[in-house]
Structure 1
Amino acid sequence: MAEKPRPVQVLYCAVCTLPAEYCEFGPDFEKCKPWVIQNAPHLYPDLVKADKEAEKTGEKLQGMQISGDQADSTAPAGSVSKQEEVKRLPGGKIKKKEKPEVVVEKVVRNKRKCVTIVKGLDMFGIKLSDASKKLGKKFASGASVVKGPTEKEQIDVQGDILYDIVEFITETWPNVPENAIYFIEDGRKVPAA
């Protein structure tokens, strides 16, 4: 006779209340690290190894910050350098802290109609609803604020205004430098300047 299936036992983090294997993707992994090292060392062997090395050298494991000369291939996957702040994404990808930039992209639909997409104006403190009104008025077209595929708001402007928009943005909002504006051409980010 087959054995009865047993319920899966899940170990939840006492700090962030996520399952322990998802702590690194939680809101504050830095606070979870000591708990994870003590209660679930099998899930993060690199973290345990780094903790033991830190104890040998007499240092306390604080935030897993290491200097640039110590960063090498043996550094744990969750470590960050003091020079740049990175964020760990699901799948082990590392996302660097975003610098403010405006990305302009032209999307062709139905082989002749174009939509110009403007992303990142909000990073410069510009209210997107006001910006869409100004863009629509300047280029005599429809412009609206929509949520993009990454759930960030962007401005969609009807028509091909890809190269005219750079001059308009830098004149209208002087706090947006021209070297912070990029085009997306053939899937690559190209500086507008």
Structure 2
Amino acid sequence: MAEKPQPVRVQYCQVCSLPPEYCEFGSDFEKCKPWLIQNAPHVYPDLVNEANAKDADKVADKLQSTGLSSGAGDGAASSAPKQEEVKRLPGGKIKKKDKQEVVIEKVVRNKRKSITTVKGLELFGVKLSDASKKLGKKFATGASVVKGPTEKEQIDVQGDISFDIVEFITDTWPDVPESAIFFIEDGRKVPAA
């Protein structure tokens, strides 16, 4: 007689309710990590190694701190720089910190109509919706906040306003230095100053 096939038992993450193999693609991967280390170490061996390394570092730090407080040691350990936390994306890629710069690019469409895009104002603490209103009023044109190709928000202004925009930005928002404003010309980044 043929054996009756047994149903496949699928394990689901208790945090994001996805199978462990797909946790890294969910929105709560950081919250899932402790559960994954405990319940599915075979799926993400790098997480287990990382957790073990952090535990070893904590133990070493405790040993050093107790050794320094009791008078042992020459103080060299206290002058060692602390490693700064690196933000990692799923897959282990390191997330780069954005440079504080404003990039202005003119995009020509239909041979005579153009759009000027302004990227990076939010890095200086400027609210993009307010900035688009001010740009629209100043240059008497349409301006809106849109998501660019890299999923970051940018301001699209109708028309070619690249001739006056640098002066307007530095006057309106004094936190934005002129040295941090760049134009894209022929695919190259050119300083505005």
TM-score in terms of structure 2 length: 0.66
Name the structure 1 match of 2:87.
86
Secondary structure of 2:183's aligned partner: strand
C-alpha separation in 2, matches of 1:6 and 1:115: 61
After superposition, the Cα gap between the structure-2 partners of 1:191 and 1:5, relative to the gap in structure 1 and judged at 3 Å, is: farther
SS in structure 2 at match of 1:95: coil
Q: How far does the alpha carbon of each residue in 1:120-142 deviate from its partner, in whole angstroms, 9 at most, with x for none?
A: 32343333333223323333433
The runs of 5 or more residues in structure 2 that have no matched partner are 61-79
Match of 1:77 in 2: none
Structure 2 counterpart of 1:112 = 112
Name the amino acid aligned to 2:127: K
- Structure 2 counterpart of 1:135: 135
RMSD: 3.6
Q: Which runs of 5+ in 1 are unaligned?
A: 61-68, 70-80
**Distance of aligned partners of 1:16 and 1:183 in 2 relative to their CA distance in 1, 3 Å threshold:** farther
Check the 8 A contact 1:88/1:94 in 2, yes or no: yes
Which structure is higher in strand share? 1
Distance 1:185 1:8 in 2: 58
Residue 116 of structure 1 deviates from its aligned partner by 0.4
Amino acid paired to 2:165: I
Structure 1 pair 183/49, CA: closer, same or farther in 2 (3 Å)?
A: same
Q: Decide whether the 8 Å contact of 1:24 with 1:88 is kept in 2.
A: no
Q: 1:182 to 1:51 in 2, by over 3 A?
A: same
Letter of the 1:145 counterpart: V
> Counterpart in 1 of 2:176?
176
CA contact (8 A) 1:87 1:97 kept: no
Deviation, 1:93, is 3.9
How many residue pairs were aligned?
171
The answer on whether the counterparts of 1:87 and 1:96 sit within 8 Å (CA) in structure 2 is no
> What amino acid is the match of 2:137?
K
SS of equivalent residue, structure 1 residue 96:
coil
TM alignment of 1:150-169, pairs within 5 A: 150-169=150-169
Of 24-33 and 156-165, deviating more is: 24-33
Change (3 A) 1:23 1:164: same
Q: Structure 1 residues 174, 55: closer, same or farther in 2, change over 3 A?
A: closer
